[in-house]
Every structure is written in structure tokens, then in C-alpha cells.
Amino acid sequence: MWCNAHPSTWKQHPAADAENWTIEKIKSVKECIDHKELKEPQEMLGVVNDPIWDFVEPQNYIFLELHAEIGSVNNVLDNFYAFIDDQVEAVTLEELTSRNSFIVADVALTRAAQLLSEWKEDVAPQLEFHRYERIAQVGNELKRRDLNPPLPTNRLGRAGR
């Protein structure tokens, strides 16, 4: 485990001479976080609190506490829901399929709403600018040919300036 390696670089096999975690290093990073000197996740290097056991050096153990807790809770919840479905509600196969389809549809709807929001923020203003730019080009070309340029219209097709 290397303390100078951000999780995004773990797949790239950091150099063998990278500095290993020590209790003092973890405490110093935590102290910097407490003093608001480190704010970005890449600077914090995964440190969120002081070592649980400050008498055992990290090189003697590597235990991903958060992942173990999440995995344990997910396992308990999955078994609990399965027990409720089988023993309490006695859910039929059609109900189970409908429930799963609803969850998949809800996730897809949330993702689609997020993509639409991102599109409205990023692409829509550019398209509107491009539209006005084209109107100006057409107007300039019509003026060059001694024709009256059309009035710009809004999204509802109404003329206005």
C-alpha cells in the first residue's frame, strides 16, 4: 500500500520506491486535513481518521474497513429482503419481475434526467449561439444582395428583436 498513490493511479502499479504508510504519516496527513490544509481527495490520499490501532504499523496489516462494512451490510440487507420476499410477503415471480423492472426503469429515468440536465447546461446554449450566428450570416448575405433580411424568431416562431 503506497501513501503517495491516489486510487486513480493504483492500476498503473506505482514505483517500487514509493513511500509506504506509517502511523506517523497517517497522523500527519490527518492533522493537515483537520487544519484545512488539504481539501482535495487526491491530497487526502484516502485518510479520513487517525489509525484505529496506533501501535500496529500498517505494513503488518491491510484491511479495507469501509469495503468490508459495505459488503457486510449489503449481504445482510440482501438476505433480509430475500427472507421478507420468501417468508413474509410470499412474492410471486411476476411481482418480483415487476419490482425489478420498476427499479431498472427508475434508474434509467434518473440517468436520462441527469443527461438531459447536462445537455441543457452544455450543448443547448451552444446551439442557440450557433442559430443566432447563422441568422446573422443569412442577414449579411441578403443585405449584400440588396434583399431584406428576415427578423430573428424565438423558439415559438414569433418575430422579435
pLDDT value for 24 = 87
| Confidence (pLDDT) at 114 | 92
Same domain, 32 and 51: yes
- Tell me the pLDDT of the chain averaged across its residues: 78
Residues 75, 34 share a domain: no
Regions of the chain short of the pLDDT cut 70: 1-18, 59-67, 149-161
Query: Closest by alpha carbon to 30, among 17, 43, 15, 12?
Result: 43
78 shares a domain with 50: no
Residues 33 and 50 in one domain: yes
pTM over 0.85: no
The residue with cell 420476499 is 85
Domain count for the chain, please give it: 2
Exposure string for 100-113, b = 16+ CB within 10 A, e = fewer: eeeeeeeeeeeeee
Whether residue 28 lies inside any domain: the answer is yes
Q: Are residues 28 and 51 in the same domain?
A: yes
Domain boundary (19, 39, 60) is at 60
Q: What is the pLDDT of residue 110?
A: 94
- Cell output for 95: 411481482
Which tens digit of pLDDT belongs to each residue from 45-92? 777 788 777 887 776 666 566 667 777 888 898 899 888 877 887 778
Instruction: Judge whether 11 lies within some domain.
Output: yes
Supply the range of the domain harboring residue 83: 65-122
Give pLDDT, residue 58: 74
pLDDT value of residue 146: 79
Same domain for 90 and 42?
no
What's the CA gap between 83 and 57, in Å, rounded? Answer: 41
Question: Do the domain assignments include residue 93?
Answer: yes
